[in-house]
């Protein structure tokens, strides 16, 4: 049952991920909605989601969403994690039907607008790529392009640790395993970053690809959808002159989240 009090336009927007990956989504949200307040929850004490079972991810998603509502009175929730979206967004919407909830998914459709060779690489966690949600997305798009999927075990964790040598080594390995990149027929000319951690190291990925390869991630699309749902619900915060604030929450080490916010977003 939805026992939530009326939603308030002045309330913050909750954003959560298994760790720091959702910072890439938060960055896009703050560009699109600079006057809104946000609460970012990194569930680092229970990461990574991408290599754990669906039931575990569902329970953590429900627990985090409940805490954000109880302690911060959020007016909307952004599930800034592909794995949590695929595993839990249906349950979250069922539990809180009046709360606007926006999820993320690999940017397969935007990639179709960019590819010329009709061959698209997709890197993501194993949990995301093996989900029913991604299978459904692919089934409706396979006649438009060939999607080559590559699970990237360990890459999100390396980004969490800011382990540059491991990030470089794993990204080199997984991009090589995807196949040949280029602009000739049969070559991959577009790469979908299907985990919210990966845009944080986009420069490292670009360095390992031929010039002109398109890299696509979900941040801007998620931000546009969040704007739309807030407008539809009459929940946009109007009239604030100054930029909104970000409250930081984590089930892990607060100092680690603060360091990541400073490193990746210049916040903290």
For residue 1, the model assigns a pLDDT of 45
Quick: pLDDT tens for 219-228. 999 999 999 9
Catalytic residue among 101, 195, 226, 235: 195
Quick: pLDDT tens for 81-121. 988 998 899 999 999 999 999 999 899 999 999 999 999 99
Quick: pLDDT tens for 156-182. 999 988 999 999 999 999 999 999 999
Domains of the chain: 13-104+219-265 (3.40.50.1860), 108-216 (3.40.50.1860)
Q: What span, in angstroms and rounded, lies between the C-alpha atoms of 39 and 45?
A: 17
DSSP string, the chain: ---PPPP-TTSPEEEEESSSTTHHHHHHHHHH-TT--EEEEE-GGG--STTS-HHHHHHHHHHHHHHHHHHH--SEEEE--HHHHHHHHHHHHHH-TTS-EE-----HHHHHTT-SSSEEEEEE-HHHHTSHHHHHHHHTTTTT-EEEEEE-TTHHHHHHHT-HHHHHHHHHHHHHHH--BSSSTTSB-EEEE-STTGGGGHHHHHHTS-TT-EEE-SHHHHHHHHHHHHHHHT-------S---EEEEESS-HHHHHHHHHHHHS--
Q: Does 226 participate in catalysis according to the annotation?
A: no
Q: Cα 76 to the chain's mean position, in Å?
A: 16
In the predicted model, is pLDDT for residue 124 greater than 70?
yes
pTM of the model: 0.89
For residue 145, the model assigns a pLDDT of 96
Catalytic residue among 11, 74, 81, 102: 81
Q: How confident is the model at residue 133 (pLDDT cuts 50, 70, 90)?
A: confident
Q: Does 195 participate in catalysis according to the annotation?
A: yes
């Amino acid at each position: 049952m939805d026992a939530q009090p009326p939603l308030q336009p002045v309330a913050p927007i909750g954003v959560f991920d298994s760790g720091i990956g959702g910072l890439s989504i938060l960055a896009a949200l703050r560009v699109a909605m600079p006057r809104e307040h946000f609460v970012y929850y990194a569930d680092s004490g229970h990461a990574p989601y991408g290599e754990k079972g669906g039931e575990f991810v569902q329970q953590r998603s429900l627990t985090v969403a409940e805490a954000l509502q109880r302690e911060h009175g959020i007016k909307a929730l952004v599930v800034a994690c592909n794995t949590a979206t695929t595993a839990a967004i249906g349950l979250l919407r069922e539990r809180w039907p009046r709360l606007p909830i926006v999820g993320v998914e690999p940017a397969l459709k935007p990639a179709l607008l960019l590819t010329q060779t009709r061959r698209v690489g997709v890197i993501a966690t194993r949990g995301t790529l093996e989900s029913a949600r991604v299978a459904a997305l692919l089934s409706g798009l396979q006649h438009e392009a060939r999607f080559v999927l590559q699970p990237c075990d360990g890459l999100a964790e390396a980004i969490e640790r800011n382990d540059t040598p491991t990030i470089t080594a794993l990204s080199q390995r997984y991009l090589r395993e995807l196949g040949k990149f280029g602009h000739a027929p049969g070559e991959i000319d577009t790469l979908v970053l299907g985990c919210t951690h990966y845009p944080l190291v986009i420069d490292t990925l670009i360095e390992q690809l031929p010039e002109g390869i398109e890299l696509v991630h979900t941040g801007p699309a998620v931000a546009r959808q969040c704007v739309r749902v807030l407008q539809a619900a009459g929940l946009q915060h109007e009239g604030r002159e100054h930029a909104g604030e970000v409250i930081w929450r984590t089930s892990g080490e607060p100092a680690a989240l603060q360091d990541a916010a400073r490193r990746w977003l210049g916040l903290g």
